[in-house]
Amino acid sequence: MTRDLLLLCGLWLCACGKDASSEPSEPVSPCGAHSGVVQRVLDGDTIELSDATKIRYLQVNTPEISHAADEVAECFGDDAKAFNESLVAGQTVTLEYDVGCTDRYGRTLAFVSVDGRMVNKLLVERGYGRVLIIEPNLKYADEFRALEAEAQAQSAGLWGACE
């Protein structure tokens, strides 16, 4: 009986195209994969993964950078991009999602972590960006507001450098 059961399981695995010794694949959320390699940092709050997925950080809005020769970056925009780049460029990042998966520009919305540190929080905590809460994505909203209040009180980053 046990031998027959093992044979049956082996046949079922072969029919499914899977090897009994294969590793289970990483689960995918409705919003996308749970990790990826950062190919490019677009600005302080947006990255592009190696599979071309654009990720917009949830709950943080960094100042804009210049995209053309005749544009002027907003105060602390280049600093925010450089800080983001120093954390994630070329790194494997972990992605955590909230309720809404994408924004109106088709970018995937996520909390991005590298080496166990959430980049979204670091940007707010160190004054590289302001809190931006857009419903229905309310996860960590209170924590982000508290980090922003502390950054303002300490005149961290843009809070001390920009009017």
Task: Say if residue 118 is exposed, middle or buried (CB neighbours under 10 Å; 0-12, 13-18, 19+).
Answer: buried
Write out the catalytic residue numbers.
56, 64, 107
Q: Following CA atoms 154, 157, 160, 161 in sequence, which dihedral angle do they give, to the nearest 10 degrees?
A: 170
Could you tell me if 126 and 154 are in contact, meaning their C-beta atoms sit under 8 angstroms apart?
no
Helix (H/G/I), strand (E/B), else coil: 6: helix
- Looking up tokens 């044979």 gives 7
Q: Any residues with CB less than 8 A from the CB of 110 and at least 6 apart, and which?
A: 31, 32, 55, 56, 57, 58, 95, 96, 97
Q: Write phi, then psi, for 5 (nearest 5 degrees).
A: -65, -45
